[in-house]
Amino acid sequence: MSLTWTAVTAPTATGLAASVSARAGRARTAFRRLVPGRGRAECAQDPIAPPARRSARRRGWPGRATDVQRLARFVVRARYGQLSAQAVEQLKLRVLDSLGCALGALGAEPAQMVHEHVKELGGARLCTLIGGGRSAPDRAALHNGALVRYLDFNDSYMAPGETCHPSDNFAPVLAACEYAHASGTELITALAVAYQVQCRLSEVAPVRARGFDHTTQGAYAVAAGVANALGLDEHRTANALAIAGTALNALRVTRTGELSNWKGLAYPFMAAAATQATLLAMRGVSAPSEVFEGSKGFMESIAGTFEIDWQREDLEAVTRTILKKHNAEIHSQSAIEALLELRAEHGLSAAEVGRIELDTFQVAFDIIGGGEEGDKHLVRTKEEADHSLPYLLAVALLDGQVMPEQYRAERIAAEDVQRLMRRVHVHPDTALSSRFPAHHSARVRLYLRNGRVLERERRDYEGFLTRPMSSDAVAAKFDRLSAPHVPQEARGQIREAVGMLEEIEARKLASLLALEGAPAGADNMSATRRPEQGGSR
């Protein structure tokens, strides 16, 4: 089950120069008809475009770059050689984890709807659709992103006021790298850029409490990762960031109250739009250079004032992200683990338990415990189930696991879990809340019908920062999720390609994801039917 990881060493100056030179050549070849004479080699030397500089002067900052221009410089100057060996290894693990999630979602109803949408509308066959077929980069970002996200089993990043899933950026970055004929090292670098931008904006500019979704910061992350993958210069990168940031500010209602398919599609939809924004910027479309600090900009309208010194930023944010062992919302992981430990140690059956009490941190209570984002005892759909602590604890006690099988429609509707979840009570705890996000503390108490009370407190779980998931565990998760849809030989080829990603082209990995005969995304699918329309013309 183990992966073969290529040893990571610091590149020599000659090797790094050769890598940059090769990338510049590919960028020029791919985009000469659109951006004559431009390419990665010139990017680091480009001055800020004169119109943007004049705008900065008008605002009273003589010769000073705007915030989005400084961010663009960070994006353009990012290089594989800046990544630590640990960051490279963790990025490759995130790629494998994301692919396991995506392949495990093949055939799921929302993924099927997205596939039929992309197939019917067409698009230049430039990028691979996971499961089979090809389409334009922005549509590949939507299609593949929907697969990565559907199970809600991919990685997470925790900031005090924001939670996000940085591997949501994998699909658009892969599409851009395939389109640009980028190398595996360039894919890793572009993904690291997207992680860094999303995680840092989540830290210093949280928007959840103001009613906006985490896809809002994600728009900047996708544009950053795609622009880096395409080898755009600073001016075009700044425009890409500004188009995405101006246009793609989403509402938090996506994840409150009655949850819908949109919970899993909001980020892929945004990623497709941000990819398109970056491709428009590549062609020269301009955008507000003061998208962050300007009048009616991101700071004034949404996030409030913040500052990031992008000159001092590294590419190590991935090392602060966490993976999921259980197929459930990230804030539930420690509670599920504590309950499953008690169940195993005492050989419990659900019939022996009268009620379940959970003390948890405030963020978990607000999002999945019945706090500010709504009652969590009414569960009818997969989207509601994986964001309901009452359901998750009830089904874990009944079934001994929380995996994709626990979200089948018949399992959610079953009388045993619906009845038991009404005896699950969730409470916010001040002491546990004070430890967040350094710890994800949960205290589970099982009140048995014989009068005994069993209690277990957990601060972390396998996959958390304090207990990282090993490469073998990630490989096992990949196999567990993908096995129903992908033959063993193909799974081995994908694992091997991810393990040696530095040595291959991005399109090699993409080609392995075109699985003939898969339940969603295969070219030999039955013809898509146009949805029936109500009413008359």
**CATH number of the domain within which 184 lies:** 1.10.4100.10
In the DSSP assignment, the letter for residue 378 is -
* Domain assignment of residue 450, given as a range: 330-458
Q: Nearest Cα to 175, choosing from 89, 274, 261?
A: 274
pLDDT in tens, 155-168: 999 998 999 999 99
pLDDT in tens, 466-483: 999 999 999 999 999 999
Higher pLDDT, 271 or 27: 271
On the question of pLDDT at 517 being above 60, the answer is: no
Looking at the chain, the whole-number percentage of residues with pLDDT higher than 90 is 82
Looking at the chain, the whole-number percentage of residues with pLDDT higher than 70 is 84
Q: What is the mean pLDDT of residues 175-192?
A: 98
The average confidence (pLDDT) of the chain is 88
Give the chain's domain count.
Answer: 2
Q: Is position 196 within any domain?
A: yes
DSSP E strand boundaries for 314-374: 353-360
One domain, residues 153 and 275: yes
Q: Residue 533 has what pLDDT?
A: 35
Helix axes 184-204, 170-179, angle to 10 degrees: 140
CB atoms within 10 A of CB 505: 18
Domain boundary among 416, 439, 458: 458
Residue in the structure block whose two tokens are 């304090």: 466
One domain, residues 302 and 334: no
On the question of pLDDT at 14 being above 70, the answer is: no
Q: Is position 464 within any domain?
A: no
One domain, residues 139 and 245: yes
One domain, residues 265 and 196: yes
pLDDT in tens, 359-385: 999 999 999 999 999 999 999 999 999
Q: For 131, phi and psi rounded to 5 degrees?
A: 100, -15
One domain, residues 276 and 355: no
pLDDT in tens, 102-141: 999 999 999 999 999 999 998 999 999 999 999 999 999 9
The whole model's pTM is what?
Answer: 0.86
Q: Residue 51 has what pLDDT?
A: 40
Domain boundary among 458, 473, 506: 458
CATH number, position 373: 3.30.1330.120
Per-residue confidence at 44, pLDDT binned at 50, 70, 90?
A: very low
CA distance 410 to 396: 16
Q: Is position 52 within any domain?
A: no
On the question of pLDDT at 239 being above 60, the answer is: yes
Task: To the nearest 10°, report the CA torsion of 378, 383, 385, 388.
Answer: -80
Q: Is position 363 within any domain?
A: yes
The per-residue b/e assignment along 311-333, b for 16 or more CB within 10 angstroms, e otherwise, is eebebbbbbbbbbbbbbbbbbbb
Query: What tokens does 24 get?
Result: 């510049």
Q: Is position 164 within any domain?
A: yes
One domain, residues 129 and 186: yes
Q: What is the CA radius of gyration of the chain?
A: 23
One domain, residues 221 and 350: no
Domain boundary among 320, 348, 369: 320
One domain, residues 192 and 292: yes
One domain, residues 342 and 309: no
One domain, residues 276 and 345: no
One domain, residues 154 and 22: yes
Q: Is position 519 within any domain?
A: no
